[in-house]
Amino acid sequence: MMHFRLGPVTAKTAAKIAALAALIALGIVVSVMWLRPEPPNVPVEANDKSRPDAYKFTGAGSCGSVNCHGGVSPRPNERVKLNEYSTWIVEDKHAKAYQVLFNEPSKRMAKILKLDKPETSAKCLDCHATNVATDMRTRS
């Protein structure tokens, strides 16, 4: 029977052990990811709601009802207070971002930038509105 006498572990030895452990852990992670089965390649129908491109943008107002996020007062003891839309529309200047495109400073800026009307220019709408492609919109 063999016996090994281990003395104090030096910093160099500890570093080698740590590097070996990290290498083994990395090998295990890579092996698990490599051997993981692929999801089945099943054709998806065009009206399948699980597809991200099957959804249409309805706008913030579609969630602004009292039964959704448009409550007047926050619900106590809840993580989601369900008054987020009401708070945003009254207290947040971002709620008015689109309306400012109709004011005189916006019209002057559009003229300087040689843009059409600020309320229809994509360059303005990209920041002042949710500029969603027409085919991705729906009525709420």
Model's pTM, two decimal places? 0.54
Higher pLDDT, 52 or 102: 102
What is the DSSP code (8-state) at residue 25?
H
What is the DSSP code (8-state) at residue 57?
B
Model confidence pLDDT, tens digit, residues 15-68: 888 899 999 998 888 887 777 666 555 555 545 666 666 678 888 878 888 888
What per-residue confidence (pLDDT) applies to 111? 96
Residue 123 has pLDDT above 90, yes or no: yes
> Residue 137: beta bridge partners?
57
Between the CA of residue 93 and those of 52, 69, 121, what are the distances in Å? 30, 18, 21
Model confidence pLDDT, tens digit, residues 5-28: 666 778 888 888 889 999 999 888
Assigned token pair, 3: 């016996």
Model confidence pLDDT, tens digit, residues 70-96: 898 999 998 999 999 999 999 999 999
DSSP 90-121: HH-GGGGTTGGGGSHHHHHHHHHTT-S-TTT-
Q: How confident is the model at residue 121 (pLDDT cuts 50, 70, 90)?
A: very high
What is the identity of the amino acid at 11? A
Domain residue extents for the chain: 57-136
